[in-house]
Chain A
Amino acid sequence: MARFVLSRLVLLLLGLLVASALIFFTLRLLSGDVAQVIAGTQGTPAQIAAIRQNLGLDRPLIVQYGSWLGGIAHGDLGTSLVTGSSVTSQLTQKLTVTLPLAGLSLVIGLVLGIPLGVLSALKRRSFSGTAISVVAQAFAAVPAVWGGMILIAVFAVAIRIFPTQGYPSDGWAEPGQALKSLLLPALTIGVIEGAVILRFTRSATLGAVSEDYVRTAAAKGMTRTRAVITHGLPNVMLSVVSVLGVQLAALLVGAVLVEQLFALPGVGRMLVSDVGVRDLTKVQGELLALTGLVLVLGFLVDSIHRAVDPRLREPGE
């Protein structure tokens, strides 16, 4: 176990390094001259030279990358090219919206997806089982933005209990208000992700139904449903955990779109507007934070999966 976590940790660090290099060098090499980008079309050569010197852009690329990495090690992602404020502090503030949004979405997705997925597999020959599976298939194809618009249409016109736009300006000072603002966006992502989790749970449960251990338990007098739930479910859950890493990435991407739609001040919305104004230092910080989050969560999911799945243990563990 320790050996696995250690080697997985090395992969995580390597992943963060590769991610940072890809983001940094893609931005620098493709953009040509960052100073020119900042100065705009009206910048004089003297202004551009001054900007270049100011930001240390006259140093070799690899040195710039090194100093960016060095900053990250101290939790410093640099300053915004447009506003001059600290990227780290803005990022941590926006994460207080994006992380709860993703977490709430995940909870909604799991609560919907797992029980319904098991149910639709157990009832696969009846109408309800087929109906659940068909609806899930359709929901998994819904674009998050459209799903959110339908929720806004319903809740802004018909039932006015949840806010459909914005977020309390004092954030989590009033947890009830903040949670209320996050509910519809989280429902949007959660239902779509839930449909994906449902289909996966269903397929894993169908696999469990025909396993030998279920047949044996059934032969010894258990009902098939009970056998699947007592003996099959742990295996089904392991399969679900194993895809959770990929689903978490999908949740964060969903957050980028949904934050824009519901006007939530999260990392996704900030990224969208920073891309618009070409604030390259902020964009690179935000992209690194989001991919870093996906990588770290993937590491945690893999480690948990390894810890709880006895089939993955090495002999002698």
Chain B
Amino acid sequence: MSSSAKAGAPRRRTWFTELLRRPAGVAAACWILLLLVSAIVSSFWTPLDPFDTDPYSAWKTPSLQHLFGTDGIGRDVFSYVFAATRTTVIVAILAGLLASAVGIGLSALGSLTARWIRESTAVLIDILIAFPTILIAMLLASILGGSLGVVIAAVGIGFGVNIARVSRSEIRRVSRTDYVLAARASGVGPGGVLVRHLLPNVAPTFVVQLSLAMASSILAEAGLSYLGYGASASTASWGRLLNDLQVYIAIHPGSVLWPGLAITLTVLAFNLLGDALREASDPRLRSSGPSDASAVRTSPPAATVSGELRVTDDVSTRGEPS
């Protein structure tokens, strides 16, 4: 096909330049960067004190002084939403790290060990995947009380199992390919195979999953803080603000716009970044040029014949002829 004819130049592109060629990916990355900067800035400075209440300035409409208006106790909504970026970023990073650790640990245990450990880990992953993150959080919160630590632990465990499931089957798949067999036959040891062939092949899947884990951690934090089992009252959180505003929804419906929009855009950004990273990092999904529509086959069938699923991995708009 034409992709092989052009193989010279396009193959050289790194995943980063590939990412920059995707508008959705760039927009998502910019939003996340903005979030990161807001998180750092808001640790030192916010336009007004986000917790400063003033009954005389309740329910102010948006103005230059209060960009997003004020809430029922006179707090400046912009400052609060701005300050809450810090909570979001901390939760996303820590939950992402924990999910990676759990995911890598379980998938290594489930693919590279003795048969019985491997198989029982696989069964354990299949069982643990049925535990929704929110329920894990409720389980922990019923004893430890609600906190951001509980949210991070729950997402880390819950999504870590997800990562393990996807990367385990990926490691298994790659370890049975001909080139790994050839490498083994030519004398490369298991460690060499892992470093040279398995990890580079699993990395794209892993990075994508990490992005989705962060999206899921933001939704979980918002949901649990809304329920009162996430951020404490002294921590600014978008979910908590939604809960505070809920009572007045029929009178001041516009007030819930800002925290909700912030959550939605951030989750959207991590989802889009995940999609863009998947396309950018996987040479098989790259179209060889904007005009070349027939170069790539679109997404593979979701369920392989062996019944293994790559669930979250397949909900995408990947490799679509442009």
Contact = CB atoms under 8 A, between A and B. Distances in A.
Nearest to A10: B123
A283 B142 contact: yes
Contacts of A141: 215, 264-265, 267-268, 271
Most buried by A among B228, B305, B317, B321: B317
A156 B250 contact: yes
A243 B139 contact: no
Given A19-B131, A249-B130, A203 B311 contact: no
Interface in B118-164: 123-124, 126-127, 129-135, 138-144
B132 A143 contact: no
A11 B305 CA distance: 20
A157 B253 CA distance: 9
A218 interface: no
Contacts of A112: none
Nearest to A247: B311
Interface stretch (B38-46, B73-81, B97-105, B295-303): B295-303
Interface residues of B, number: 60
Interface in B221-274: 222-223, 226-229, 239, 242, 246, 249-250, 253, 256, 259-260, 263-265, 267-268, 271-272
B138 A271 contact: yes
Contacts of B219: 143
Interface in B159-177: none
16 contacts: A15-B126, A30-B144, A137-B317, A141-B267, A142-B264, A143-B239, A143-B263, A143-B264, A145-B222, A145-B226, A149-B246, A256-B135, A260-B226, A283-B138, A291-B135, A294-B132
B309 interface: yes
A31 B303 CA distance: 41
Interface in A111-147: 124, 133, 137-138, 140-146
Contacts of A11: 123, 126-127
A280 B222 CA distance: 25
B222 A157 contact: no
A31 B126 CA distance: 27
Contact of A203 (B271, B309, B316): B316
A239 B223 contact: no
B77 to A, nearest CB: 15
Interface residues of A, number: 72
A15 B122 CA distance: 12
Given A157-B250, A283-B139, A200 B314 contact: yes
A290 B298 contact: no
Given A124-B320, A143-B223, A19 B138 contact: no
Contacts of A30: 140, 143-144
A44 interface: no
Given A202-B317, A243-B311, A311-B305, A149 B130 contact: no
B55 interface: no
Contacts of B300: 207
Given A143-B223, A246-B311, A275-B138, A253 B130 contact: no
Given A141-B264, A257-B223, A312-B307, A156 B132 contact: no
Contacts of A156: 249-250
A145 B267 CA distance: 14
Given A23-B139, A253-B133, A291-B131, A242 B302 contact: yes
Interface string A282-317: 010001001100110010000001100101100000
A76 interface: no
B305 A149 contact: no
Given A202-B317, A203-B315, A242-B303, A145 B298 contact: no
A243 B267 CA distance: 21
B22 to A, nearest CB: 14
Given A18-B127, A138-B268, A249-B132, A209 B143 contact: no
A14 interface: yes
Given A203-B318, A291-B130, A239 B264 contact: no
The 3 closest A-B pairs by CB, nearest first: A146-B260, A153-B253, A141-B268
Contacts of B129: 246
A296 to B, nearest CB: 10
Interface string A1-25: 0000000000100110011001100
Contacts of A164: 250
Interface in B276-303: 297-303
Given A146-B263, A210-B297, A27 B130 contact: no
A146 B243 CA distance: 10
Contact of A19 (B127, B222, B267, B315): B127
Given A239-B302, A243-B302, A140 B249 contact: no
A235 to B, nearest CB: 7
Contacts of A200: 302, 314-315
Most buried by B among A142, A238, A275, A278: A275
Interface string B186-223: 00000000000000000000000000000100010011
Most buried by A among B127, B229, B309: B127
